[in-house]
Copies of this chain bind each other. A is one copy, B any other.
Amino acid sequence: MTSDLDQTDPLASYRDAFVGAETPLVYFDGNSLGRPLRVTGDRLKAFVDEEWGGRLIRGWDEGWMDLPATIGDDLGRICLGAGAGQTIVGDSTTVLLYKTMRAAVAARPGRTEIVVDRDNFPTDRYVAQGVADECGLSIRWIDVDTSAGVTAEQLAEATGERTALVVLSHVAYRSAYLADVEQLTRIAHDAGALVLWDLCHSAGSVPTELDAWGVDLAVGCSYKYLNGGPGAPAFVYVNAGLLDSISQPIQGWIGATDPFLMGPTYAPAAGIRRMLSGTPPVVGMLALQDMLDLLEQVGIDAVRAKSVALTDHAVELAEELLPDVALASPPDSARRGGHVTLNHPLMREVTAALWRRDVIPDYRDPHGLRIGLSPLSTSFAEVRRGLETVRETLDALTR
Chain A interface (Cβ within 8 Å of chain B)? 18-20, 25, 27, 29, 32-33, 35-36, 40-42, 44-49, 52-54, 56-60, 64, 90-95, 98, 118, 121-123, 125-127, 129-130, 134, 221, 223, 229-234, 249-254, 256, 259, 262-266, 277-284, 287, 355, 360, 362, 364-365
Chain B residues positioned under 8 Å from A234 (CB to CB): 278
Once the chains bind, are A278 and B123 in contact (CB under 8 Å)?
yes
Q: Which of B33, B42, B64, B118 contacts A56 (CB 8 A)?
A: B33
A-B pairs with beta carbons under 8 Å apart, 25 shown: A19-B53, A35-B56, A40-B48, A41-B46, A41-B49, A44-B45, A52-B230, A57-B362, A93-B279, A94-B254, A94-B279, A122-B253, A123-B253, A125-B264, A129-B265, A129-B266, A130-B251, A130-B266, A229-B282, A230-B282, A231-B280, A231-B284, A262-B365, A283-B283, A283-B284
- Report the minimal beta-carbon distance from A291 to chain B, rounded to whole angstroms: 12
Known A92-B281, A94-B277, A253-B122; contact A56-B287, beta-carbon cutoff 8 A: no
A286: nearest chain-B partner, CB-CB: B283
Chain B residues positioned under 8 Å from A265 (CB to CB): 126, 129
Once the chains bind, are A279 and B223 in contact (CB under 8 Å)?
yes
Once the chains bind, are B94 and A230 in contact (CB under 8 Å)?
no
A232: nearest chain-B partner, CB-CB: B283
Q: Indicate how many identical chains form the complex.
A: 2
- Report the minimal beta-carbon distance from A382 to chain B, rounded to whole angstroms: 13
Instruction: Report Cα–Cα, A280/B281, bound state, in Å.
Output: 13
Once the chains bind, are A36 and B20 in contact (CB under 8 Å)?
no
Chain B residues positioned under 8 Å from A259 (CB to CB): 122
Known A91-B278, A365-B262; contact A52-B229, beta-carbon cutoff 8 A: yes
Most buried by B among A25, A57, A365: A57
A265: nearest chain-B partner, CB-CB: B129
Instruction: Report Cα–Cα, A157/B8, bound state, in Å.
Output: 78
Instruction: Report Cα–Cα, A171/B63, bound state, in Å.
Output: 29
